[in-house]
A and B are shown apart, each in its own frame.
Chain A
């Protein structure tokens, strides 16, 4: 499927994973295989966060997102690499990507 700018924005299936306590905001469920619907622009992580907030996050969104990014203390991994290496919010999601949100631990 092509849109006006000629870019593909077909539906995507991505695996989301939450850990380090972040899963507690999602009823304790760590892994979610989700289908992202067709949209005019290609899906990036910025869009994904909005989608998560609207579709998966049941309560207290401020414990997960802040502004258009994740709150301080959450590390985002795209296919096992720090999202800073992948373009951060602008990373364009590919079908079957694995996106992990890890809350950093401080205890010992």
Chain B
């Protein structure tokens, strides 16, 4: 059991070995403790460390079968390469939203992860569970299927998802079994003449970090941002302004601040006319009400304070004659910072 992270509340719906009583504790130890409670006869070895190119190979060599339950692209390549170099089968499962995928790599002539995906996906196309969400049951189902394949391989029954992939669609309640290509003789790691014979730096290779924590974007200067405390003061002293919420509709439906105007970022990005019109109109109305010729403040908010920065940049480039004199800032840390520091009743998701 390898994990460097600690148990957080927002893990519990999908990482079912952990529980509320172990919040803040090491995940590796929490998982080992949960398993021990289930069956004290097993031996569970927690490794509280980041699986890294320097530690992975030695660790993988000490075991017969590896299950990849990780949550990011660099780690998936790292685990794959370590399994190929150590000659171990890799039982790999992943999940996002209402879908899951299961494959056994590097087993009985089947492909490895790299045979299928020689190049990592562009970082901007990767959505993690923390960002995109996942229905907690889905990783549970995939985890059980993963355990099934581990047991089959361990007992010599072979695997039914080597050279194939099982796709699970929770919405349609459907499994689809697809046939995959065989091992690629030209594969960089498991091919006939591999160019990779040692582990490399996977964060550089993938252009993203080996964690599913949401990245903090730094697009705006500090003058273009306000804190949740400052925004609270603006609300308390009833200063005229417009608050623009740029999250997707499904998130706005969970929770939002009162009187915010919903303009999703993707519509801003494609300069959706209807959305821009409603924005211009709202700013115009509020400005009229405020009556002054002052620079009118517009604040942008999202979940974590990343998309709001992108939105500020887009809004700043809109034509001046439509908007008049306005100042556009975003709220640092977004609604989750609001929930954390200002309003404990505000939903965290």
* A108 in contact with B93 given A59-B266, A71-B121 (CB within 8 Å): yes
Closest to A19 in B: B99
* A107 in contact with B167 given A75-B116, A82-B178 (CB within 8 Å): no
Cβ contact within 8 Å between B125 and A106: no
Query: Count the A-B residue pairs with Cβ separation under 8 angstroms: how many?
Result: 95
Q: Mark B72-109, 1 if CB is under 8 A from A, else 0.
A: 11001000000000000000011111011100000000
Closest to B73 in A: A106
B128-136, B289-297, B317-325: which lies at the interface: B128-136
Taken together as a complex, chains A and B put the C-alpha atoms of A82 and B181 apart, in Å, by 6
Q: Does B219 contact A (CB under 8 A)?
A: no
Min CB gap B206→A, angstroms: 10
* A108 in contact with B94 given A21-B132, A72-B122, A73-B125 (CB within 8 Å): yes
* A106 in contact with B176 given A59-B266, A72-B119, A82-B181 (CB within 8 Å): no
Q: Does A102 contact B (CB under 8 A)?
A: yes
User: Which residues of chain A (75-98) have a CB below 8 Å from chain B?
Assistant: 75, 77, 80-82, 84-85
Which residues of chain B are near A106, meaning CB under 8 Å?
70-73, 76, 94, 96, 126, 128
* A104 in contact with B101 given A63-B124, A73-B125 (CB within 8 Å): yes
Which residues of chain B are near A104, meaning CB under 8 Å?
94, 101, 117, 121
User: Which residues of chain A (25-74) have a CB below 8 Å from chain B?
Assistant: 59, 62-63, 71-74
Which residues of chain B are near A102, meaning CB under 8 Å?
101, 167
Taken together as a complex, chains A and B put the C-alpha atoms of A63 and B167 apart, in Å, by 22
Min CB gap A3→B, angstroms: 32
User: Which residues of chain B (165-213) have a CB below 8 Å from chain A?
Assistant: 165, 167, 169, 176-181, 212
Taken together as a complex, chains A and B put the C-alpha atoms of A85 and B212 apart, in Å, by 33
Which residues of chain B are near A75, meaning CB under 8 Å?
116, 165
Cβ contact within 8 Å between B176 and A108: no
Cβ contact within 8 Å between B99 and A105: yes
Taken together as a complex, chains A and B put the C-alpha atoms of A21 and B269 apart, in Å, by 19
Taken together as a complex, chains A and B put the C-alpha atoms of A80 and B165 apart, in Å, by 10
Taken together as a complex, chains A and B put the C-alpha atoms of A84 and B164 apart, in Å, by 13
Closest to B146 in A: A108
User: Which residues of chain B (126-177) have a CB below 8 Å from chain A?
Assistant: 126-129, 132, 134, 139, 142, 165, 167, 169, 176-177
Min CB gap B117→A, angstroms: 6
Q: Does A13 contact B (CB under 8 A)?
A: no
Taken together as a complex, chains A and B put the C-alpha atoms of A106 and B129 apart, in Å, by 8
Q: Does A103 contact B (CB under 8 A)?
A: yes
The number of chain A residues with a CB under 8 A from chain B is 24
* A108 in contact with B101 given A71-B122, A80-B176 (CB within 8 Å): no
Pick the residue among A21, A59, A74, A84 that contacts B97 (CB under 8 A). A21
Taken together as a complex, chains A and B put the C-alpha atoms of A80 and B174 apart, in Å, by 14
Taken together as a complex, chains A and B put the C-alpha atoms of A19 and B96 apart, in Å, by 11
Cβ contact within 8 Å between A108 and B167: no
Q: Does B274 contact A (CB under 8 A)?
A: no
Min CB gap B321→A, angstroms: 27
* A108 in contact with B121 given A80-B176, A84-B181 (CB within 8 Å): no
* A107 in contact with B128 given A20-B99, A80-B179, A85-B179 (CB within 8 Å): yes
Q: Does B69 contact A (CB under 8 A)?
A: yes
Q: Does B120 contact A (CB under 8 A)?
A: yes
Min CB gap A56→B, angstroms: 16
Cβ contact within 8 Å between A20 and B101: yes
A-B contact pairs, 23 of them (CB 8 A): A19-B169, A21-B127, A21-B132, A62-B122, A71-B125, A72-B118, A73-B121, A74-B121, A77-B178, A80-B176, A85-B180, A85-B181, A104-B117, A105-B100, A106-B128, A107-B71, A107-B94, A107-B96, A107-B128, A107-B132, A108-B94, A108-B95, A108-B139
Question: 15 more A-B contacts (CB under 8 A) besides A105-B101, A108-B142?
Answer: A21-B127, A59-B270, A63-B124, A63-B125, A72-B122, A73-B121, A73-B125, A84-B180, A85-B179, A104-B117, A105-B94, A106-B73, A107-B95, A107-B127, A107-B134
